Amino acid sequence: MASTDYQTITVGRRKCAVARVFLRPGSGNYKINGRSLPDYFKTINAQLKVQEPLKAVELADKYDVFVATCGGGITGQSDAIALSVARYLLKLNPSYREALKKRGLLTRDPRAKERKKYGQKRARKRFQFSKR
């Protein structure tokens, strides 16, 4: 991929959350659904998770990150953004693979909510059994 092609968009998913990301050379600003990073994610853990891929390859202050995300909750969205940014960085430079892989940023987390079973209260919970 050409190093000047910054218009590619990568997608990351986690639980029900979907994040579409593209990076542009800049000063390390984040715009998530039109809002800044601390304004969108109030928790420090979510903010650190989103910033982790760029810090892993030491590019935290070299790119501006633009995100469109929907679905899920705070944790799902932050994990989806981190996966999408990591995939974008891998497209920019395949030599980042080792650093990203070591931190587990290229693996999509397949865990999702288990479906409710018919005739029962929830996915695993059962109604009380009475023998007599």
In a domain, 25, yes or no: yes
- Give CA torsion, residues 50, 47, 35, 90, to 10 deg: -10
Per residue in 27-47, pLDDT tens? 999 999 999 999 999 999 999
Mean pLDDT of all residues in 103-110: 94
Of 84, 70, 75, 86, nearest in space to 113 by CA: 75
Q: To 5 degrees, how large is the angle CA 126–CA 127–CA 130?
A: 120
pLDDT in tens, 46-99: 999 999 999 999 999 999 999 999 999 999 999 999 999 999 999 999 999 999
pLDDT-derived band at 1 (thresholds 50, 70, 90) equals: very low
Task: Say whether pTM exceeds 0.85.
Answer: yes
CATH code where residue 19 lies = 3.30.230.10
Position 111 in a domain:
no
| 3 domain-assigned | no
pLDDT of residue 123: 95
Rounded to 5°, the CA angle 5-13-113 comes to 175
115 within a domain of the structure (yes/no): no
Fill in the amino acid letter for 20. R
